[in-house]
Structure 1
Amino acid sequence: MVIICGAKGFPVHRFMLAAACEAFHRLLANDCVSLSAELARSSSESSMVSSMGEATTGEFNEDTEYLIRQDQAKQMRVWDQIKRRSSCQILPLSDSCKKPPDLYREVNHPAIVSIRVVKCDKIQHATSQTQTIVTMSKLISQTVMQEIINFIYTGALDASAFKQQEIRQAAELLGFHELSKLSQFILDQHLLFDKGFMLQFHTPLAGRLRDMFVERSMFADVTFDLDDGIHLAHRALLMARCDPMKAMFQGHFRESVSRVISFPGVKMYAFHILLSYIYSDKIPAVEPARCLELLELANRLCMNRLVTLVEARVIDQLQQRDRVCGDDDQVVEIALSLLEPVKLHNAHNLADWCMWRLCGAYDRVCRARHLSQPSRDYLSDNRWPPVWYVKEFDYYQKCVNEQSKEQKELRPTTSLQANQQTGCLCFTSKTRRDSEPAADVTTALCRSDDAHQPQL
């Protein structure tokens, strides 16, 4: 799409403008689609008329005689003879009929004047035969339009050319709410230009890109034929975010001019998460049991950051299951099944976590047959608890058992003595009552002896 602002044209992508501005979204989703449909219908009619040859056409009634080129008298006599013999006449088309006219429509909007859909020929690597041209009104200057486009694509504004009030007014006219809030905030607070601060206002655009073009596939220009279905996408965004895609679409490959691209070995689940990452730089929750196909696709396309994000999501999922299920074997089984395959797809962080988790469950996984010998050796050397701890714990248990046996042998004598010496003072036992009078007699005898002693 081309935006005409004054005497300058700005080449942009329809899906980026539609995701950023409500005015462009309404314009492109309604007017542009209807105009493109009319242009395609006109092109199909022209191609159908000329399907019998470059210089021949069929005519079935007198209402379309304006299509017939006026020839010399001799050709007209031939035409009359053919007309008498058949209801289908064949004559060359005029030049104006070979190429359909451009479609034009005025727009009732203060910032947008008109939209035009033209047919283009012989464009290198062009997958669409139409070009959309939008003409802006004088309310938006070239400088302001340039800054708006820069913010849409980069999330930053040029401090040297920033016209706060004009950009805020243009953003309000176009329905670009994030830029309007940012410019108003800078006007009120008089803040310096900080790219990190501006990116906070640019973040919602990525979410709208995912919702509008991954979930609903609006304005898609390429179709991927996957193992279990088809998925639509946008070439420009794929090329900007993925180097192999850029080489495929820009180079001299068959895919550079194909509308449908075969992608064997890829399923809808993995490709949908891949597009979510490409469009929004984020990924949804990933099922640990199905992460291998996504890791394989990310490694296949040389997207190391996507591999890292998938690893982090899978590890979080497994750790959460560990907290919920405790010592359940489910997490151990998943880690055991992922350990060897993830190494093939350069998911080293996930492989290290799986190895760490299996070291803590060594007794359950030491006999797994599909583990490689290096993995077996690592688990044996780093098992938890280690061998020395197991031996010390066994020795401790043995000592505790022997001590328990000794206490059981001494317990009857000890308990009998305790029963004889204990008891409430108010309710003394029989043994204690029998012993108390003897003590009183002894005390009385001692007192009587003291009484009979002579005084010195």
Structure 2
Amino acid sequence: CARLCLSNMVCSVEVISSGFFCWETGSQPGFVSDLLYRVLKLLWKFMRSYRMHLNPNWGLSLHVFILLQFCHRLLCLSLFNPRPIKRGDILPPEKGREVAKELGIPYYETSVFDQFGIKDVFDNAIRAALISRRHLQFWKSHLKKVQKPLLQAPFLPPKAPPPVIKIPECPVPSVNEAGYLLDSPLCADVMFVLQEQDCIFAHKIYLATSSSKFYDLFLMECEESSNLDETQCNKENTSKDVLTSHLETNYDSDEISLKSVDVKIPAPENTDSLNTLKPEPGETIFAARSLSSWGKGFVSVHKEMQVNPVSNRMCPVTVVKMDSSVQAGPFKTVLQFLYTGQLDENEKDLTRLAQIAEILEVFDLRMMVENIMNKEAFMNQEITKAFHVRKANRIKECLCKGTFSDVTFKLDDGTINAHKPLLICSCEWMSAMFGGSFTESLNSEVVLPNINKTSMQAVLDYLYTKQLSSTQDLDILELIALANRFCLPHLVALAEQHAVQELTKASMSGIAIDGDVLSCLELAQFHNANQLAAWCLHYICTNYNSVCSKFRKEIKAKSSDNQEYFERHRWPPVWYLKEEDHYQRVKKEREKEDFALNKHHSRRKWCFWNSSAVVA
């Protein structure tokens, strides 16, 4: 049966307050005979575009309503389909106008979601009702001013909001990785000898950045290595030049000396000949220096050739002999703390650990042990935070100065010193290169072609600090390409965010960025910077008219997928431009009709008064 939707609603149209009732017949034309309607609004829910046609029910309904005098009709379509639809199922407004034209009735569109067109439908329905009443109540002057149903301006969809650059969770090197590097000392450059029998391999960069005592020790050892030049001292790796040197054998003696040459010597044919190039394990490179007067717990320091326990390769290491009072177990715990910044509360011999920490001047560890012994372990969190802050600052300082570096990257426009242990723990790509069987793991110099110094410096800063440090000389697209090459998605996201911020800032300052966005689009897509590419697509689509007018050739030169995306998502859309043209054209035609009609009425009025004057 018919359902009363709205009752006694008051609406003001053409300065006329009107009350109206709204009935829903539920597509049952039999109910129209019981009620007299002034306006019929045909609301049709359609599922698919193929249902957009006149069916017999429409014909029956319209036939009955036409029998009712002075009944105006409006066509209002709404999409009712909660299921996913295809692009072809979306009907343009021109299809609705075609149906309305067949019925000879006005056509309106509504959107509950955007609140568009709802007031237009009801206002024009009331206008139609008032016009129908004007024929019956022609003496009422206020009805003469009522206009016929107005044209509906097309709905301009709002601009889509720009995509937000999402930064994934930062892959901070876990404590276990640093601790594992101590247990499996790959690329170790220092060896501690305890009680003349226990040997513990470690890494200078981890110890020096965590303890001022070890920093001074290794820096002093580096400066006083008179047999090594400054570059070799910073690299801390002289045996890596074995493959680029030749042997001069003195047949009168058994001595074997290494002499660097400019001509590259071919690699040995077998491992036996390679072994003959290596110095003997334990061979001292420079004389030992006593540390008894320098600090407690230290005996001497010197450099010698040793075999790495993980890679089984000969390499120079700094040998530090410790005092006999320093035991291997507690000392290993101290090193573990310097690597990770954490201390196990269930450590057994805390008293002995505190003594060794006091001797080695590791005061952070000394305070943490004291807090655990005093049942105040919760205070260690602040100590750990401060420890990591100081360590991060010192790591950045070592990167800038090249202190304790053991590898040099040769780039297109210069060289940069770095530290293998930190790179191994920060980047899987670097870990595979330096920790595997690649040639780069043997060399102290690594050639990286097609990379400039500025981009590589930014990557190293990120690997050391997990932050993006941008400079004016930095090309953000080159950084994205390098980050993608090194498999660093977090750095790619940071670079994308920085690029979007810079482009947005320039655009707000009045600087034209259309060309920059166009050139950035396909490079971002090529280097897997998907978020930056999505932002570029959004900018081009929302400013399509401006971009296309300036860079029409560049737009046509884009890939077919990008051009198809532009056509689908351009703003304003093509259908709106067509509707706007149709609206303006029909509006001008109606204005001409109204002008001609008013002119005709004006002539009739003056003719009436003139004829009266003549009769008089």
TM-score by length of 1: 0.64
1:226 aligns to 2:423 (yes or no): no
Deviation, 1:195, is 8.0
Partner of 2:547: 365
AA paired with 1:53? N
**Quick check: 1:117 aligned with 2:302?**
yes
Distance 1:119 1:344, change over 3 A: same
Q: 2:208 maps to what in 1?
A: 18
Q: Which residue of 2 aligns with 1:376?
A: 563
CA contact (8 A) 1:225 1:231 kept: yes
Count of residue correspondences: 358
CA RMSD of aligned residues (A): 4.4
Shift of 1:25: 0.9
Of 225-234 and 111-120, deviating more is: 111-120
Is residue 206–residue 281 contact of structure 1 (8 Å, CA) maintained in 2?
Answer: no
Match status 1:325 vs 2:522? no
* Aligned residue runs from structure 1 range 280-429, under 5 A: 280-285=465-470, 290-322=475-507, 324-326=508-510, 328-330=511-513, 332-366=514-548, 367=552, 368-387=555-574
Cα distance in 2 for partners of 1:147, 1:162 equals 11
Aligned counterparts of 1:397 and 1:125: Cα–Cα separation in 2: 83
Give the AA of the match of 2:477.
L
Structure 1 residue runs of 5 or longer lacking an equivalent are 45-49, 59-94, 407-456
Q: CA offset at residue 222 of structure 1?
A: 1.7
Deviations 1:74-122 (A, max 9, x none): xxxxxxxxxxxxxxxxxxxxx9xx9767413224355442232142156
Alignment of 1:108-257 (within 5 A): 108-120=293-305, 126=313, 128-135=315-322, 138=325, 142-161=328-347, 174=360, 176=362, 190-192=376-378, 198=384, 201-212=387-398, 214-257=399-442
CA contact (8 A) 1:159 1:193 kept: no
* Separation in 1, partners of 2:582, 2:366: 73
Contact 1:289/1:334, CA 8 A, preserved across alignment? no
- 1:216 offset after TM fit, Å? 0.7
Instruction: Tell me the distance in 1 between the aligned counterparts of 2:318 and 2:480.
Output: 38
Deviations 1:167-222 (A, max 9, x none): 6776566555665676677778824499899456424312321221x211111222
For the residue of structure 2 that corresponds to 1:258, the secondary structure is: coil
Cα distance, 1:115–1:389 mapped onto 2, change above 3 Å: farther
Equivalence for 2:222: 33
Give the direction of change, closer, same or farther, for the CA distance of 1:181–1:293 in structure 2 (3 Å limit): farther
Letter in 1 for 2:484: N
Instruction: Name the SS for the 2:450 alignment partner.
Output: coil
Aligned letter for 1:217? G
Deviation at 1:388, TM superposition (A): 5.1
Partner of 1:53: 250
Q: Unpaired segments of 5 or more residues in structure 2? A: 1-189, 233-237, 240-246, 256-279, 595-616
**Alpha carbons 1:226, 1:263 under 8 Å: kept:** yes
- Output the CA distance in 1 between the equivalents of 2:375 and 2:568: 60
Distance 1:340 1:99, change over 3 A: closer
Identify if the C-alpha distance between structure 1 residues 102 and 296 changes in structure 2 by more than 3 Å, giving closer, same or farther: same
* Residues 1:282 and 1:391: Cα distance change in structure 2 (over 3 Å): same
Q: C-alpha separation between the residues in 1 aligned to 2:535 and 2:297?
A: 55
Q: 1:172 to 1:383 in 2, by over 3 A?
A: farther
Q: Aligned with 2:475: secondary structure?
A: helix
| SS of equivalent residue, structure 2 residue 562 | helix
For the 8 Å contact 2:198–2:328, the answer to whether it is kept is yes
Relative distance call for 1:201 and 1:34 in structure 2 (3 A) is closer
Tell me the secondary structure at the aligned position of residue 129 of structure 1.
strand
Higher deviation after alignment, 373-382 or 166-175: 166-175
Is 2:449 the partner of 1:260? no
Quickly say closer, same or farther: Cα 1:177–1:207, change in 2 above 3 A.
farther
Shift of 1:344: 1.4
In 1, distance between residues paired with 2:580 and 2:372? 67
**Greater relative contact order (Cα < 8 A, sep 6+):** 2
Q: How far apart in 2 are the matches of 1:180 and 1:349?
A: 47
Corresponding residue for residue 86 of structure 1: none
**Inter-partner Cα distance in structure 1 for 2:344 and 2:370:** 16
Q: CA deviation at 1:373?
A: 1.9
Which structure shows the higher strand fraction?
A: 2
Query: 2:540 is aligned with what amino acid?
Result: L
Partner SS state of residue 226, structure 2: helix
When residues 56 and 340 of structure 1 are mapped into structure 2, their CA distance, relative to the original with a 3 A threshold, is same
Measured in 2, the distance between the counterparts of 1:290 and 1:39 equals 37
Structure 1 pair 39/341, CA: closer, same or farther in 2 (3 Å)?
Answer: closer
